[in-house]
Amino acid sequence: MLACASLAILVAPGCGGGSGGGQGSKKAAELSSPLDVGPRAAEIPVDAKLASQGVLLFKSKTCSTCHAFGLRITGPDLKGVTHRRSAAWIEQQILHPDSMTKQDPIAHQLLGEYAVQMPNLMIQPDEARALLEYLKSQDHE
């Protein structure tokens, strides 16, 4: 969350990264993270109210400057990210992208692949949750 801003990720940031078609980084897909365990974010039903807030945040926080769905811009393509990553991993990438690239193997690999550090936009936890719900809604369409 989902611009280079809050999601470069999205991973965000990135968020599970990938190039064209949302296939994701094969190298990042092979890595494991203590935050990326359990169900994939997409397996949890979408909160439509939060998703509608998330779409506004995706634009206002400039996530769309670096991220799109089904298209690689500067950061990873976000298409399918909620099928590849857990909610916990995505939220931490949105909230603490700088720490994630230092401590998380997947985020570190994505930084190496995209060569752009997702900036820390000081996203609040409730905003990160709304961005996550927006990402999930895009993956359910």
Higher pLDDT pick, 109 / 22? 109
Does any domain span residue 38? yes
Burial 44-54 (b: 16+ CB within 10 A, else e): eebbeebbebb
Taken in order 133, 61, 99, 25, the sign of the CA dihedral is positive
The domain spanning residue 59 has which CATH number?
1.10.760.10
Side chain identity at 91, as an amino acid letter? E
Bridge partner residues of 72 (DSSP): 67
Q: What total number of domains does the chain contain? A: 1
Range of the domain at 83: 20-140
Does any domain span residue 2? no
- The pLDDT score that the predictor gives to residue 48 is 97
Question: Is pLDDT above 80 for 27?
Answer: no
Residue 43 token pair: 């397996």
Does any domain span residue 39? yes
pTM of the model: 0.80
DSSP letter string over 50-80?
A: HHHHHHHHHHHTTGGGTB-SSSBSSS---TT
CA 63 remoteness from chain centre = 10
Does any domain span residue 15? no
Q: What whole-number distance in Å separates Cα of residue 132 and Cα of residue 134? A: 5
Does any domain span residue 8? no
pLDDT tens per residue, range 98-109: 999 999 999 999
pLDDT tens per residue, range 63-113: 999 999 999 999 999 999 999 999 999 999 999 999 999 999 999 999 999
